[in-house]
Structures are given as C-alpha cells and as structure tokens.
C-alpha cells in the first residue's frame, strides 16, 4: 500500500514570500531583515545550529508569531498549509480512540486505507479502539504523525518530522514527500532524511537566511564549514559504530571531502613531527 499526502488541488506558483523579516524573543534577535521566496514544488530544508531560530521561522510562516518588522505572505492562490509541530502529540484529544483520531481529519480516505496507514506505523488491529490517554509517549507521537499524513494540503511545513519514527515509517514519509507536488518546508537534524527529499537548503545564520538552490550535497559542496562539521559528525559516528555508514553510500563530494581531510590531517601530522625533530636538534 502506497501512502500519499492528499493534495487539495494545486497552489499558485508563489507559495511563501518573506520580506525584510525581523523577529526576536526578548532582546535576542533571531531573524534580521531576512528575505526568501518559496515556489510550488520546492522541497526545502531549514538548517542551522540549535537555538538559531529554525522552529521560530516555521511559526512565523504559519502566522503563529507576529513579525516585529517586515512580513511573511502566503501565496494568494490555494495555499493550504499542513503544519507538523514538534509537540503535536501533546495536542491530541485524550478521550478519542486511535482510529477516531485519524478518521476525523481524513476527508477522502477509505477506512481500510486509514487502517493500512496505522498498521504501517505499528498500530496493530487490537490497538485501533484504544483511547489516546492509554498510549505511551512514542505511540502518541506516531499517532500524531498519522493524523498529519491524512490531512489535505498544498504546502507541508514540518518541524523535526522523523523524531520518534522507526525506519519503515521514515521511508514511507520520504516516499510520500517525493511524490508530493506541493511545496515542502522542513526543519530536521536527520541528515539522511534531508538528503533523500530536498532540492533546496536554507541555512539560518546570524539571523540571515543563506539560500542554496540545490540538494544537500550541493550545500556541502558550497559550504566548507558545514562540510567539515559533517565530516566530524561522521568521524564520531565511525568511532561509536565503525560500520554505520558504508563508503559506497557516500556521495562523490563526500568521498572527495573525506580524502581531502585525510590529506590535510596527514600533512599537519607530518609538519608536527618535523617540528618536534627540529626542536630536538636545537636542544
């Protein structure tokens, strides 16, 4: 069974326009005269360090925070956002059952398809009539995700959607996003997920939005600092679990960057040992 995000027609070409946007909490300026235009069909990852304002940017796009300067405009034609918040699970109605929770938002879905979706997210048949109040934290998160999957839209706004998902559900989400013809804006720390789905990367840096019109590998090619961080992260992963990432799964750019880093490390070590030898000679 293929799971798709239900699309409600097609939006106009212009989906989101951010103009000279300014916003901050208390005296911390998070967004500083930022500009960005998002069009139908674009799949964008918003990335940047913890606390730089990625979730806040999504809230501004959704109109849940008011800019202190500039504006965020949704396109005029049929822009219907479907927003997946980080704390979505907390907003579930505890008195409803698992099946009722999804059924009430799934306008065009057959009941068997809803059950199929819930099954794919690990809700076995005997759980469908269970009250939400009895679910574990992880189950609530997966249920919130199913509720999100069935809602019709032309724009998906996702904040860390892969948290709490197992690998089959993540793959289902990736496939559904690839097939979606509307626009997608996602914040995610899951590099693998981002690599699978995005065709544009926007980096939040010192309140500005740096635009990379290409996929995640393009972003790494263009951004030396990010590439170095990525290599450090990979080295850490390799140390913890040496076989987590097979070399064959690396992109050409990643392999080249890794080779370059090894060369540099080798040269640095050589210089250091030369320096030590010289120091010995002088002493």
Ligand X SMILES: Nc1ncnc2c1ncn2[C@@H]1O[C@H](COP(=O)(O)OP(=O)(O)OP(=O)(O)O)[C@@H](O)[C@H]1O
Residues that bind ligand X (CB under 6 A): 25, 30, 48, 50-56
The two structure tokens encoding residue 231: 């290599």
Q: Which two tokens stand for residue 149?
A: 């999957």
Min CB(190)–ligand X separation in Å: 12
Distance CA 65, CA 48 (A): 20
Q: Which is nearer to ligand X, 121 or 185 (CB)?
A: 185
Shortest distance, position 250 Cβ to ligand X, whole Å: 25
Q: Which helix (H) or strand (E) holds 163?
A: none
Smallest gap, in angstroms, from Cβ of residue 45 to ligand X?
12
Neighbours of 67 (CB within 10 A): 17
Nearer to ligand X, 221 or 230 (CB): 230
169 versus 186: smaller Cβ distance to ligand X: 186
- Chain-centre distance for alpha carbon 183: 13
Q: What token pair was written down for 240?
A: 């913890």
**What is the distance between the alpha carbons of residues 104 and 108, in angstroms, rounded to a whole number?**
11
Beta strands 155-159 and 183-187 are parallel
Q: How far is the CB of 65 from ligand X (least distance, A)?
A: 8
Nearest-approach distance from CB 205 to ligand X, in angstroms: 11
Complex with ligand X: residue 50 or 248, whichever CB lies closer: 50
Residue closer to ligand X by CB (options 154, 188) is 188
| In the complex, least distance from residue 206 CB atom to ligand X, rounded to whole angstroms | 13
> Which C-beta is closer to ligand X: that of 42 or that of 190?
190
Least distance to ligand X from the beta carbon of 161, Å? 13
CA–CA distance from 213 to each of 21, 37, 126, 218 (Å)? 20, 12, 46, 8
Of residues 53 and 75, the one with the C-beta less far from ligand X: 53
Reduced 3-state DSSP string for 220-283: HHHCHHHHHHHHHHHHHHHHHCCCCCCHHHCCHHHHHHHHHHHHHHHHHHHHHHHHHHHHHHHC
């Amino acid at each position: 069974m293929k799971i798709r995000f239900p699309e409600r027609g097609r939006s106009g070409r212009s989906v989101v326009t951010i103009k000279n946007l300014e916003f901050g909490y208390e005296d911390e300026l998070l967004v500083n005269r930022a500009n960005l235009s998002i069009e139908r069909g674009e799949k964008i990852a918003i990335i940047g360090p913890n606390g730089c304002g990625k979730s806040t940017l999504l809230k501004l796009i959704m109109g849940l925070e008011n800019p202190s300067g500039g504006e965020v405009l949704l396109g005029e034609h049929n822009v219907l956002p479907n927003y997946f918040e980080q704390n979505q699970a907390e907003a579930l109605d505890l008195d409803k059952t698992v099946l009722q929770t999804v059924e009430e938002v799934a306008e065009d879905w057959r009941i068997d398809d809803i059950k199929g979706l819930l099954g794919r997210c690990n809700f076995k048949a005997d759980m469908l009539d269970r009250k939400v109040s009895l679910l574990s934290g992880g189950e609530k998160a997966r249920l919130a995700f199913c509720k999100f999957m069935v809602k019709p839209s032309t724009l998906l706004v996702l904040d860390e959607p892969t948290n709490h998902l197992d690998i089959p559900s993540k793959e289902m989400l990736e496939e559904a996003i690839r097939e979606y013809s509307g626009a997608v804006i996602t914040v995610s720390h899951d590099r693998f997920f981002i690599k699978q789905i995005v065709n544009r990367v926007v980096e939040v840096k010192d309140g500005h939005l740096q635009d990379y019109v290409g996929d995640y590998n393009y972003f790494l090619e263009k951004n030396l600092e990010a590439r170095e961080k990525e290599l450090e992260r990979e080295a850490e992963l390799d140390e913890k679990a040496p076989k987590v990432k097979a070399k064959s799964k690396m992109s050409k750019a990643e392999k080249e960057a890794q080779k370059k880093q090894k060369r540099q490390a080798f040269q640095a070590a050589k210089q250091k040992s030369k320096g030590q030898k010289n120091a010995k000679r002088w002493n």
